[in-house]
A and B are shown apart, each in its own frame.
Chain A
């Protein structure tokens, strides 16, 4: 999927679309191969992309207007196509879109088969209703399918699908592994564990394929459940061997080296972390019970602060440094800010004008596009113009 400046601007202003076009035609200075990496050229912090995408997701939960949701989808898709780098995780966007469609389909299927509490008069078709025993009261199988119920399910499913696609956009714009790199030093080892696990799954799949091929070479059927079972054990064996080899390689490359710290620092770290976590627990409890309304919040905040200080101090034990860490620069602020603005404006609109954001289904009406919430959604296009140009780079082969 190359960028499509014409088709995908989704109601964005044409001037802005025109501005990006030269970058697509000629790679420009940013696109010269051999220059610093695609992901670094964008210069946007991984966290900023996640904030942007998740904020869009939050915005999507504020409305069930299909036009607004469609606009959100178009905007996020345009930004993904414009800004994503050429990495394997960037290609996962399509998978998330498919997942969203599947969710939508399942929601509609349930609305048809199990019925829906939405009262409706426009009957589309009547399915044969299966009689259920009395203990299953309230559940209906089959029966009337009304246009209202279907429409309600569609709005609802679309909301969920948009949320999923937004997560997919975050995934495509900044791989989770990149995000984990920004963790504080003390949590670094956990991050590595996750990264290794993430690269492990593709290896498992490749191993499984290879061994199924080997089954075929032995003259056994390579399909079916039995084939899978027989391949399972060798695959796990291979995975185990590989992890041992990887652990050896990591050890030999200095993973887990620790710096000397004074006992005082060590003890303080332990005390701060433990105390902080206890504080968080107590604070949460206080917030949730009616009696602790007064002390809940302060204790929670103090606990959180102590735990963070403990983590920071704990980072001293690890002598690690970061190679070209993502910097939180003005561009990142703009990206994150545009997302947060969309979420905030949509929440505001949902509070002030709930009717426009939640078009009714009873009686059936065509949803209208509320103007200023739609304009707010377009704010999320800002990253496409602030941090574009990473796809113009062709991969050197």
Chain B
């Protein structure tokens, strides 16, 4: 169905080809997964199938790509529209019309299908994707998972033989991702659609793939094979494969079920060990004691693993003047102080405190009666569906969102009433799109601006960048960095002000396993150095690796708050793969198992 014959693509102004020696065939009716680290040209290969590369992006394509017998060299994307359906990374930039039903019909209108055929297919697709209840809704009001389904539906209605998807689940919560993957399964099984998809989160998709195309490195020839064979040699692999490699299982299991059936001996070996329970490096009790005399010593004294902490060794909780306030105060005085805006931290054991927080946005209750406390050195993962209120909660912690009820205090200050210049020294947020934080043309200029914004010593930000991103030169444009590097740069910019509380919104979106591992190491070091970290994420594996505590949100309310092991083990959607495989034992990550076996 899709045939690449010795294809290489070279973009204008780049000396090396982005992909080279691509030569494989995707037979009809198969679901093929394109895997590989970031920057190896997965999107380029996907674009070549729909003809957008090179017709739309420019560059030179050598070799030949044929889809359903049509050569993309002679057929423009619009002439391939009836055989290839393409959904890009961001469904929002895909929509042409504003309501669901019109969007589903748009592609068919362009192809000139008869009105009665269009009507029938729209109804069928609404049912197939479970969108019937949303048919009149403006697309902008839908959740991420719903938008992704509408985007898939909108390319399905012309009945393409090939479906090309670029990271269809990376922005979705686990349940919504399963929903989308179930739809793809159904298309492959019932309609014989050929699906080619790229995805970083292999743990979600690899078990559905018939074949895997692995791009091991930029410019290297791709490998094509059965998922288990490819996973044995792949530089990117999901936790289940990691565990399989560790235990020496062959063939490698790809699903939790396969792994469980083989895991009995491993469970027996592990029975003698108890899974470690991750605890904050800084116990709250010691902080209270230490913070009163000299806040600067808190982290230095209680950071045993701060060896890798890049320049964040002196994260001072709260303002320098908090020495006076160490004893807990009656509630009435709290309220009095709150009105004054920036006040020193009452209690050194708490970096942020949220009490009975309610937020209304456009008449919708985004948060309701939320309580949350974060202690220094603690890592908290906020999880929950798309639209459950995770970002809103982070926003209210940095004062972007004004609470309609309850109170929020970060380092003793009320975020939305504190001037930004003050606030950056108490709390820092890395937004979902790290690029939003970066304005300058070069890394050096960005660092200089960050030093100035944070009133830090010149060179403070650059030192952080050098630690987080070794090898990035001053003259690099932030736009030319990879997704992971950009995140690290934004992180460095935020850390320049040394906020005791660090917030991250969906940090692993678009990161491959390597970049994710680096991020985990960085965040661990920061937590060990006494930073409190709150991250909103859909990535259960990340939460399992990092978080001491998991807070589950649903419909704007906290529905669970407890140690990671307790919260995720009991939940089928939020349990990481290792937990599912080794249940009833409470192991969360492969690293824990590896340590226990060593």
Is B109 a contact of A321 with CB atoms below 8 Å?
A: yes
Q: Which residue of A lies closest to B93 (CB)?
A: A245
Among B93, B110, B399, B436, point to the contact of A210 (Cβ < 8 A): B436
With the chains together, A39 CA to B137 CA distance in Å?
11
Give A176-219 as 1s and 0s: 1 = Cβ < 8 Å from B's Cβ atoms.
Answer: 01000000000000001001100100100000001101111111
Shortest distance between the CB of B107 and any CB in chain A (Å): 5
Shortest distance between the CB of A88 and any CB in chain B (Å): 6
| A351, CB-defined interface residue at 8 Å | no
Whether A252 contacts B50 in the complex (CB less than 8 A), given A37-B136, A220-B453, A323-B109, comes out as: yes
Is B436 a contact of A254 with CB atoms below 8 Å?
A: no
| A259, CB-defined interface residue at 8 Å | yes
Q: Which residue of A lies closest to B422 (CB)?
A: A219
Among A215, A216, A324, A395, point to the contact of B119 (Cβ < 8 A): A324
With the chains together, A183 CA to B138 CA distance in Å?
22
Give A235-255 as 1s and 0s: 1 = Cβ < 8 Å from B's Cβ atoms.
Answer: 000000010011111111111
Is B113 a contact of A248 with CB atoms below 8 Å?
A: no
| A119, CB-defined interface residue at 8 Å | no
Q: Which residue of A lies closest to B94 (CB)?
A: A249
Among B102, B107, B111, B420, point to the contact of A216 (Cβ < 8 A): B420
Kindly specify which of B7-15, B424-432, B515-523 makes contact with the partner chain.
B424-432
Give the most central of A218, A255, A323: most B CB within 10 Å.
Answer: A218
Q: Which residue of A lies closest to B493 (CB)?
A: A218
With the chains together, A142 CA to B97 CA distance in Å?
52
Is A216 a contact of B399 with CB atoms below 8 Å?
A: yes
Q: Give chain B residues whose Cβ lies under 8 Å from the Cβ of A33.
A: 133
With the chains together, A248 CA to B500 CA distance in Å?
43
B interface residues, how many (CB within 8 angstroms): 73
With the chains together, A319 CA to B135 CA distance in Å?
26
A residues 306-321 touching B (CB-CB < 8 Å): 319-321
| A221, CB-defined interface residue at 8 Å | yes
Among A196, A234, A325, point to the contact of B439 (Cβ < 8 A): A234
Is A218 a contact of B109 with CB atoms below 8 Å?
A: no
With the chains together, A222 CA to B419 CA distance in Å?
10
Is A253 a contact of B155 with CB atoms below 8 Å?
A: yes
Shortest distance between the CB of A344 and any CB in chain B (Å): 35
Give A83-97 as 1s and 0s: 1 = Cβ < 8 Å from B's Cβ atoms.
Answer: 000111000000000
Q: Which residue of B lies closest to A242 (CB)?
A: B93
B residues 399-454 touching A (CB-CB < 8 Å): 399-400, 419-421, 423-424, 428-429, 431, 433, 436-437, 439, 449-450, 453-454
| B578, CB-defined interface residue at 8 Å | no
Kindly specify which of B25-33, B75-83, B260-268, B292-300 makes contact with the partner chain.
B75-83
Among B84, B105, B137, B419, point to the contact of A323 (Cβ < 8 A): B105
Shortest distance between the CB of A94 and any CB in chain B (Å): 14
Is A221 a contact of B97 with CB atoms below 8 Å?
A: no
Whether A252 contacts B86 in the complex (CB less than 8 A), given A37-B136, A214-B436, comes out as: yes
Shortest distance between the CB of B191 and any CB in chain A (Å): 19
Give B168-186 as 1s and 0s: 1 = Cβ < 8 Å from A's Cβ atoms.
Answer: 0000000000000000000
Whether A34 contacts B420 in the complex (CB less than 8 A), given A210-B436, A252-B78, comes out as: no
A-B contact pairs, 27 of them (CB 8 A): A34-B133, A39-B136, A87-B99, A87-B138, A210-B431, A213-B431, A216-B399, A218-B437, A221-B419, A248-B77, A249-B88, A251-B55, A251-B78, A252-B52, A252-B78, A253-B78, A253-B110, A254-B107, A254-B110, A256-B78, A319-B111, A320-B112, A321-B112, A321-B114, A323-B106, A324-B119, A396-B137
Is A219 a contact of B77 with CB atoms below 8 Å?
A: no
Q: Which residue of B lies closest to A250 (CB)?
A: B96
Is B420 a contact of A222 with CB atoms below 8 Å?
A: yes
Shortest distance between the CB of B47 and any CB in chain A (Å): 9
Is A322 a contact of B109 with CB atoms below 8 Å?
A: yes
With the chains together, A135 CA to B277 CA distance in Å?
88
| B377, CB-defined interface residue at 8 Å | no
With the chains together, A395 CA to B99 CA distance in Å?
13
| A230, CB-defined interface residue at 8 Å | yes
Among B110, B137, B431, point to the contact of A320 (Cβ < 8 A): B110
| B16, CB-defined interface residue at 8 Å | no
| A166, CB-defined interface residue at 8 Å | no
Among B112, B133, B155, B493, point to the contact of A319 (Cβ < 8 A): B112
| B281, CB-defined interface residue at 8 Å | no
Q: Which residue of B lies closest to A175 (CB)?
A: B98
| B290, CB-defined interface residue at 8 Å | no
Q: Give chain A residues whose Cβ lies under 8 Å from the Cβ of B98.
A: 88, 177, 199
| A257, CB-defined interface residue at 8 Å | yes
With the chains together, A247 CA to B497 CA distance in Å?
40
Is B437 a contact of A217 with CB atoms below 8 Å?
A: yes
| B572, CB-defined interface residue at 8 Å | no
Q: Give chain B residues whose Cβ lies under 8 Å from the Cβ of A34.
A: 132-133, 135
With the chains together, A201 CA to B51 CA distance in Å?
30
Shortest distance between the CB of A138 and any CB in chain B (Å): 50
A residues 260-299 touching B (CB-CB < 8 Å): none
Is B136 a contact of A322 with CB atoms below 8 Å?
A: no
Q: Which residue of A lies closest to B123 (CB)?
A: A36
B residues 310-365 touching A (CB-CB < 8 Å): none
With the chains together, A178 CA to B76 CA distance in Å?
29
With the chains together, A210 CA to B401 CA distance in Å?
12
| B108, CB-defined interface residue at 8 Å | yes
B residues 103-140 touching A (CB-CB < 8 Å): 105-115, 118-119, 122, 132-138, 140
Q: Which residue of A lies closest to B57 (CB)?
A: A248
Q: Which residue of B lies closest to A230 (CB)?
A: B439
Is A323 a contact of B108 with CB atoms below 8 Å?
A: yes
Shortest distance between the CB of B158 and any CB in chain A (Å): 7
With the chains together, A387 CA to B138 CA distance in Å?
22
Q: Which residue of B lies closest to A217 (CB)?
A: B429
With the chains together, A73 CA to B111 CA distance in Å?
44
Whether A259 contacts B112 in the complex (CB less than 8 A), given A218-B437, A222-B420, comes out as: yes
Q: Which residue of A lies closest to B96 (CB)?
A: A250
Is B114 a contact of A255 with CB atoms below 8 Å?
A: no
| B101, CB-defined interface residue at 8 Å | yes
Is A219 a contact of B137 with CB atoms below 8 Å?
A: no
Is B137 a contact of A214 with CB atoms below 8 Å?
A: no
| A38, CB-defined interface residue at 8 Å | yes
Q: Give chain B residues whose Cβ lies under 8 Å from the Cβ of A245.
A: 88, 90, 93-94
Q: Which residue of A lies closest to B455 (CB)?
A: A219
